[in-house]
Amino acid sequence: MNREDSRPRIIFLMGPTASGKTRLACALAAEHRFDLVSVDSALVYRGMDIGTAKPDARDLAEHPHRLIDIRDPDQPYSAADFR
């Protein structure tokens, strides 16, 4: 069967903290149009800027990331909430 797949393509960048994933994702997003979705468990919480390698304000302004700063630290968030 030689049918073109119409499903959206998904790229996963995985690796250790501060290994260059965000830099690569932003570079790719500058070349191609796609959403950036953070799945870092600490970055869902507002104010977790130290020790998490959170993208800086410039990167976030140029290339918005989904699921960053969506909860206050006293609000629970789990994998079950991610849909």
CA distance 13 to 65: 14
- Coil/strand/helix, residue 27: helix
Q: Which of 22, 23, 28, 58 is nearest to 40 (CA)?
A: 22
The 10s digit of each residue's pLDDT in 15-50 is 988 899 999 999 999 998 889 999 888 899 999 888
Inform me whether the pLDDT recorded for 80 exceeds 70: yes
pLDDT in tens, 55-68: 989 999 999 999 99
| pLDDT value at residue 65 | 94
Tokens of 22: 């965000």
The residues, any chain, with a CB within 8 Å of residue 35's CB and separated by 6 or more, are: 66
Residue 41 to residue 47: CA distance in whole angstroms: 13
User: Is residue 70 predicted with pLDDT exceeding 50?
Assistant: yes
